[in-house]
Amino acid sequence: MKRIDKALPVFPASDATHGRFRHGQVVYGKIESIQGEAEKIAHVRVGDEIVTARLRASLQAGNYYLFEVKAENDNIYWKIIGKERGLSFNIDEAAQHLIQKWKLPRDAHSFLRFVLQEKIPVAKEEMSKIVQWTEQLEDKEQGWETLRYMFARRFPVTKDVFFSLLAVKTNPPLFQQLQYTEKLLVSLPTEQQKDSLQALHRYLQHIATDRKNAYDILSNLLQSLQQPEQKIAQQLLNKLGLPLHNIDSDQLKKFQTAIRNGDFQEIQQHLQLLFPGFEEQQFLKHFQTLYESYENGFLSNEEQQLFSAILTRSDDDIALSIFHLLKESFQKLGLQYEANIRRALETKTLAMTTLTSLKSLLLQALENAHEPVLKETLQTLLYHITGQQLLSRGEGPLQHVFIQIPIQIGEQRTDVAIHWQGKRQKNGKIDPDYCHIVFCLFLDKLKETVVDVRVQQRIVHISIFNDHPHLLRIANEFQPMLKERLEAHGYTLSALKIETSKQKKMPIDIVFQQRYNGVDYRI
């Protein structure tokens, strides 16, 4: 997975490059020591920094104080605010003082306490904007938690960054948002259906469709032409808009090999030979219509049975199929949109096929969306995608990747959320010997399932969080196959455990809670 953070327009700076202090900020610091007689020099600890300052006030070493940063004539000085001179502030007193001084709501107390405890500078102007954002939220605590995450990781304090991160944390599943957006676009009056809105609508019609899954089904239908259900398979192929003729068995095998390899360029070439004049967009449109007819029970009984049987046939390599799904989802959603633009500018090659994505179409559609509900829905969806980009970041020697994508498992549509944390190597790639992967999905029978995978020196420990009473027996039956598949890739299975769902941690919660703490020296 290519690094997204290198191309994002905004990205949290590291502590070392975040800038020292700005006029109007308030900082909470500890006087570490005071030196000198005539001109006293204080060493003030603010977070990980030691700031040297000339003292003009009577302060005591070991005490904590609130300081307001002032800038005059290109000089920076800190003014003590709050209690009588020389008296120390504890965290709660400092937070309460700022609430009264800046006229903030009481629910800001926990957030202020957090930024002061973490020694993060904060300004009144920032707090005024933050209060406006949180006042419009139903669940204000989710907003404050998002802000704590923003400040701790030095994100720019902007409305777009805040609502993008909040969208990933609190919004409904992505596949539900996509379905709702599509319904709104369908219901638009003809005079409001601008080109950009129509383009978005067409894209949404097949975005939830995994291209590989669609080609897998086509491959199985072609295979069924040589079986007793030949007549039913021909009927389904007709509904896919594919003319029938004699299928060359060697060409079919090459087509199936290209599907297993996920080589879509080769797939296109073979389909042109199997079906002259084949057009992918037209095929995917017919496939979506056929699938919806199947879901709604509009096919004949024989067609329903054959299509259901084809859907439940397993792929030759599930892991490879999921890999291709993730890779394609990055492009479909636009998680590499800015990176693709940057690459296109650097190489001076603009290819619309690589730049077209859900994010790019949302940006265009928003310019022509005037109906309030539609405009808000499109903006929320855009926030959700940008939030995923912001959550994929580097932190110290670690690289985090977070992705939430809509998928189709058999007959069920759901989301899968994945948090991948790994140690970066010198070449920038994640070390495959050491990583932590947590993913969550909602299954028809097992319901909400969280899988936690920890890899240390290629030794794999897996915990599955689910309350299904028969899951332990089923897991034990599949454990030998899992062990064999991992060994084929150079990994050793250490343990496979089934845990209760009460102990689970969701991928998005892990992202928001984890914090890397570095050290300067090892003793």
Q: pLDDT by residue (tens digit) across 147-175?
A: 999 998 889 999 999 999 999 998 888 88
Q: Distance between CA 455 and CA 422 in Å, rounded?
A: 9
Strand partners, 461: 454, 495
Over its C-alpha atoms, the chain yields an Rg (Å, rounded) of 28
First CA to last CA across the chain, in angstroms? 35
For the ranges 96-105, 206-215, 438-447, 466-475, the lowest mean pLDDT is seen at 206-215
Residue 464, C-beta contacts closer than 8 angstroms, at least 6 positions apart: 449, 450, 451, 452, 471, 475, 496, 497, 498, 499
Query: DSSP letter at 248?
Result: P
**Phi, psi for residue 499 in degrees, rounded to 5:** -115, 160
The distance between the two most distant Cα atoms of the chain, rounded to a whole number of Å, is: 101
Q: What is the mean pLDDT of the chain?
A: 81
Reply yes or no on whether the pLDDT at 383 is more than 50.
yes
pLDDT of residue 320: 60
Reply yes or no on whether the pLDDT at 16 is more than 50.
no
Reply yes or no on whether the pLDDT at 73 is more than 90.
no
Q: Distance between CA 78 and CA 27 in Å, rounded?
A: 9
pLDDT bracket for residue 83 (50, 70, 90): low
pLDDT of residue 39: 67
Residue 191 or 160, more confident:
160
- Average pLDDT value for residue range 497-509: 79
- Average pLDDT value for residue range 217-234: 84
Alpha-carbon distances, residue 125 vs 80, 104, 158, 182 (angstroms):
19, 12, 12, 39
pLDDT bracket for residue 514 (50, 70, 90): low
pLDDT of residue 14: 34
pLDDT of residue 319: 61
Ordered by start, the domain boundaries in the chain are 25-153, 206-313, 397-516
Task: Tell the burial category of 67 from Cβ atoms under 10 Å away from its Cβ (0-12, 13-18, 19+).
Answer: buried
Residue 78, C-beta contacts closer than 8 angstroms, at least 6 positions apart: 27, 44, 53, 67, 68, 69, 70
- Average pLDDT value for residue range 3-26: 47
pLDDT of residue 38: 62
pLDDT bracket for residue 84 (50, 70, 90): low
pLDDT bracket for residue 350 (50, 70, 90): low
Q: Distance between CA 295 and CA 241 in Å, rounded?
A: 19
Reply yes or no on whether the pLDDT at 3 is more than 70.
no
pLDDT bracket for residue 495 (50, 70, 90): very high
Q: pLDDT by residue (tens digit) across 271-303?
A: 888 888 888 878 888 888 888 788 788 899 998
pLDDT of residue 35: 81
Q: What is the dihedral of CA 120, 122, 126, 131, to 10 degrees?
A: 80
Reply yes or no on whether the pLDDT at 315 is more than 70.
no
Q: pLDDT by residue (tens digit) across 50-68?
A: 877 777 777 778 888 888 8
**What DSSP element (H or E) covers 23?**
none
Residue 73 or 479, more confident:
479
pLDDT of residue 189: 86
Q: Distance between CA 35 and CA 60 in Å, rounded?
A: 11
Alpha-carbon distances, residue 434 vs 419, 453, 461 (angstroms):
14, 11, 12
Topology at the third CATH level for domain 397-516: Transcription Regulator spoIIAA (3.30.750)
pLDDT of residue 9: 33
For strands 492-499 and 459-465, give the pairing.
parallel
Could you tell me the two tokens for 303? 């067609």
Reply yes or no on whether the pLDDT at 15 is more than 50.
no
pLDDT bracket for residue 127 (50, 70, 90): very high
Place of tokens 């095929």: 283
Cβ 446 vs Cβ 424: under 8 Å: no
Could you tell me the two tokens for 487? 């060994």
Residue 18, C-beta contacts closer than 8 angstroms, at least 6 positions apart: 154
pLDDT of residue 214: 82
Q: Which of 24-28, 326-330, 516-520 has the highest mean pLDDT?
A: 24-28
Q: 67-73 contacts: CB < 8 A, separation 24 or more?
A: 67/26, 67/27, 67/28, 67/29, 68/24, 68/25, 68/26, 69/21, 69/22, 69/23, 69/24, 69/25, 69/26, 69/27, 69/121, 70/23, 71/22, 71/23
